Amino acid sequence: MSKEITARSEDYSKWYNDLVLKGGLADYSAVKGCMVIKPYGFALWEAMRDVLDRKFKETGHQNAYFPLFIPKSFLSKEAAHVEGFAKECAVVTHYRLKNDPNGGGVIVDPDAKLAEELIVRPTSETIIWNTYKDWIQSYRDLPLLINQWANVVRWEMRTRLFLRTTEFLWQEGHTAHATAQEAIEETEQMLNIYADFAENYMAVPVVRGLKSPSERFAGAVETYCVEAMMQDGKALQAGTSHFLGQNFAKAFDVQFSNKENKLEYVWATSWGVSTRLIGALIMVHSDDEGLVMPPKIAPIQVVIVPIYKGPDQKAGLDEKVNVIVKELRSAGISVKYDDSDNNRPGWKFAEYEMKGVPVRIAIGARDLENNVAEVTRRDTREKMSLSLDGLPARIAGLLDEIQLNLFNKAKAYRDSHITSVDTFEEFEKVLDEKGGFVSAHWDGTAETEEQIKERTKATIRCIPLNNPQEAGTCILTGKPSKERVLFARAY
């Protein structure tokens, strides 16, 4: 059967959309720019969320919930923040509809105009720091380590499922500290949690680095990021962690009395990852047959498809498979036994390949006689005939192998797509012909960065942490530079 997936080589962007839609991850909605996250996509988000949430709690953070709406005036309180966020946003101006006296259905009631417009949160620094003012008086109230799982809205004209949507789901951590040092350590700790999650759960290798000043979060003193590389040679920012200095504390007048009983402004961080990560996951691992899920966050790790003729064979298979299912589950492996008779085995094989289920077990009447099953890995599509004895342990090992293989494969691709160049000509050539990260000298000015972006569509993805210091000259201006930075075209 044809799964009707566009090949990557033919149209990468269409391939991506095919996987999202046909893999059952998400769907377009009737509201421009907003998506519907379908059950399989949401189960993936839940698996990702559960791992991250555990890591946040293990490092002392607590979840809370702040209002969806932000008074318009709040956005103006931090000067850089309003420039970055206030522009493209959903504005609530009224709080009531009424029946149209002319019979045209329901209309906005002009008498129900808000005195001050409310903005649907694009991010929550302002409403949260306005609240922290009431919660923080003394050094004893610090640190305040809070995270929120929420929906946010940033109005987008051109949208792509998961990668760029008007509404998306995310988590946003907002912490308050007594010293700059402690806040910086928090910022770095959260960056490391994101990197660990990306690499060890999503099997997506990332570069940890700092953003250039022009790419910083609006209102941040320093933005740390993890950057991943997609199969089309474009980069994707997989998470950011911001050291906000005292900017928001000053904007919202949040001071604490220190141990010497003197008032000081509080130091802040914020950090977040979103459903965008699902886009990265798809583009790093999947192939022309469909999605490929890393076992550690796969909604279904193992699918079992029975192959039989008639109810007697089915009953024999059921009996054995139920034992296997039980053993797998008690080993902590999620398994689906798809014995529905709506579809034939071949259809199911294609379906679970499309959905990227890491391991497929097919078992028929003859296999049962021989005490074996046919086991297929999604990553390599390799088939093996495995004994039913000790199968669960073998599957557990196989899932680990797949997880590792996906990471290694992605890392090999990524590593082979970091190219050092020393001239602007080479820079353009690599971007156009090979893609990936381009490591190049830059004179450190926003003007040069902007010119390079205009001419090549490449941006500075990051200045890697622990970057080797190396004297050189800027590829565009020839001015002196003390280190290379990573450029790429990006999502």
Rule CB under 8 A: which residues touch a second copy? 27, 29-31, 34-39, 41-43, 45-46, 62-76, 82, 86-98, 105-106, 108, 117-120, 127, 130-131, 134-135, 140, 146, 150-151, 153, 155, 167, 169, 342
**Single-letter code of the amino acid located at 116:** E
In the complex, what is the shortest distance from the CB of residue 70 to a second copy, in angstroms, rounded to a whole number?
7
Comparing C-alpha atoms, which of 430, 428, 461, 453 is closest to residue 206? 461
Contact 491, 163 (CB under 8 A): yes
Query: 356 forms bridges with which residues in the sheet?
Result: none
Rounded least distance, CB 112 to a second copy, Å: 8
* Tokens (6 digits) for 164: 């760029």
Q: Which residue has the tokens 């022009």?
A: 214
Query: Where are the strands (E) in 318-417, listed by range?
Result: 335-337, 359-364, 372-377, 383-387
Q: CB of residue 99 vs a second copy: minimum separation in angstroms?
A: 9
What is d(CA 109, CA 111) in angstroms, rounded to the nearest whole number? 5
Q: How far is the CB of 258 from a second copy (least distance, A)?
A: 15
Residue with smaller CB distance to a second copy, 167 or 379 = 167
Q: Which is nearer to a second copy, 251 or 462 (CB)?
A: 251
Q: What gap in Å lies between CA 333 and CA 153, rounded to an integer?
A: 36
Q: How far is the CB of 28 from a second copy (least distance, A)?
A: 9
Question: Which one, 105 or 468, has the nearer CB to a second copy?
Answer: 105
* Cβ closest to a second copy, residue 10 vs residue 109: 109
Cα gap 487→458, rounded to integer Å: 6
Query: CB burial class (10 A; 0-12, 13-18, 19+) of residue 236?
Result: buried
Structure tokens at 186: 């928090």
- CB 459, min distance to a second copy, A: 24
Closer residue to a second copy (CB): 63 or 385: 63
- Give the whole-angstrom CA distance, residue 117 versus residue 70: 9
| Nearest distance, CB of residue 35 and a second copy, angstroms | 7
Q: How far apart are CA 220 and CA 375, in angstroms?
A: 50
- Judged by beta carbon, residue 90 or residue 386, the one nearer a second copy is 90
Minimum distance, C-beta of residue 62 to a second copy, in the bound complex (Å): 4
Backbone angles phi, psi at 439, to 5 degrees: -95, 115
Residue 100 vs 400, nearer CB to a second copy = 100
CB nearer a second copy, residue 7 or residue 97:
97
Interstrand relation of 144-153 and 62-63 (parallel, antiparallel or unpaired) = parallel
Nearer to a second copy (CB atom), residue 339 or residue 483: 339
Cα separation values, 264 from 62, 74, 133, 251, Å: 24, 22, 13, 14
Which amino acid makes up residue 213? P
Nearer to a second copy, 167 or 367 (CB): 167
Q: 82 pairs with which residues across the strands?
A: none
Q: How far is the CB of 453 from a second copy (least distance, A)?
A: 23
Rounded CA-CA distance 195/211 in Å is 15
Q: How far is the CB of 192 from a second copy (least distance, A)?
A: 23
Angle CA 427–430–435, to nearest 5: 120
Residues 6+ apart with CB under 8 A from 468: 483, 484
